[in-house]
Amino acid sequence: MTATDDRARAEIERVAASARLLVALDFDGTLSPLEDEPMDARMLPAARDAVAALVAAPRTVVAFVSGRSLVDLRVIAEHDDSSLVLLAGSHGAEYWIPGEGLSRHAEDETDVALRDMLRAHAEEATAHLEGVWIEPKTFGFGVHTRRAAPAAAAEANRLVDRIVAEEAPQWRRRTGHNIVEYAFRHEGKDSAIAELRERTGATAVLFAGDDVTDEDALASLGPADLGVRVGDGETAATVRVPDIAGLAALLALLAQARAGHRG
């Protein structure tokens, strides 16, 4: 099913009629193209316009749900203190709430010290591999291989997998587009959606994402909700759109339908 199908339009009309709607969106690959330099990511204009229309829609809350640390997510989302968009960073381990600011799940000093040590070990182990970059994250780190040759990427992942398996086997491992992430916290986008649903009092959720980690959230949605997959890949989503432009068109349609349900 795609955003142009009659059934997809019917699904949009269905969630548009919800008493209070949460529109939760992954960022990289969903609203912004994937970039070789991750901090260059920005929403495409059509996606930005659709998000703005949803923010302005009645009884509608918009949230970005990302594996990025909250500080980086705020930069790439061009998000300031006046924004009405909620943020869930680090796969739902830290939040930014309008009118409240930062809300972060507790972290232990021992975990932080281990994070810094493992990140240093990963940087040292992969320093000789061209195109590999270790990204610092609030609750761990990520191994970026987008700019690396396939052999170097495989070697980087093998080396860091071994380090984490030996020194922190209890950490959570996630894979994405040319990145492997390791974290001492075990929140996922499914738990982020559950927390956002509770915080906002949403009666229905639309969640859209493009990557493997987004499937945790998509699989957690209930019958009143709607999941949207951007691009190819196996998915639990009901609706699929081919790319960011397709999602922007779907979100614009939702905003228009939502405006018609002011009741």
The whole-number pLDDT of residue 109 equals 87
The whole-number pLDDT of residue 60 equals 98
From first to last of its 263 residues, the chain has per-residue pLDDT tens of 455 588 889 999 999 999 999 999 999 999 999 998 889 999 999 999 999 999 999 999 999 999 999 999 999 999 999 999 999 999 888 999 999 998 877 677 899 999 999 999 999 999 999 999 999 988 899 999 999 999 999 999 999 999 999 999 999 998 888 999 999 887 889 999 999 999 999 999 999 999 998 999 999 999 999 999 999 999 999 999 999 999 999 999 999 999 876 55
User: Are residues 230 and 47 in contact, defined by beta-carbon separation less than 8 angstroms?
Assistant: no
The whole-number pLDDT of residue 2 equals 54
User: Are residues 138 and 90 in contact, defined by beta-carbon separation less than 8 angstroms?
Assistant: yes
Produce one character per residue of 15-38: b if its CB has 16 or more CB atoms within 10 Å, e if not.
Answer: bbebeebbbbbbbbbbbbebeeeb
The whole-number pLDDT of residue 106 equals 67
In whole angstroms, give the CA distance from residue 2 to residue 42: 24
Give DSSP secondary structure letters for 53-73: HHHHSTTEEEEEE-SS-HHHH
The whole-number pLDDT of residue 262 equals 58
Q: What's the CATH number of domain 6-105+187-259, 3.90.950.10, 3.30.2090.10, 3.40.50.1000, 3.40.50.150?
A: 3.40.50.1000
User: Are residues 22 and 202 in contact, defined by beta-carbon separation less than 8 angstroms?
Assistant: yes
One-letter amino acid at 205 equals V
The whole-number pLDDT of residue 1 equals 46
The whole-number pLDDT of residue 57 equals 97
CATH T-level fold of 109-183: Hypothetical Protein Ta0175; Chain: A, domain 2 (3.90.1070)
Express each pLDDT in 165-204 by its tens digit: 999 999 999 888 899 999 988 788 999 999 999 999 999 9
In whole angstroms, give the CA distance from residue 203 to residue 117: 43
In whole angstroms, give the CA distance from residue 27 to residue 171: 24
Using the structure block, give the residue that is written with the tokens 């972060």. 104
Per the DSSP assignment, residues forming a β-bridge with 206 are 23, 226
Give DSSP secondary structure letters for 116-173: HHHHHHHHHHHTTSTT-EEEEETTEEEEE-TTS-HHHHHHHHHHHHHHHHHH-TTSEE
* 197 three-state secondary structure: helix
Domain range annotation of the chain: 6-105+187-259, 109-183
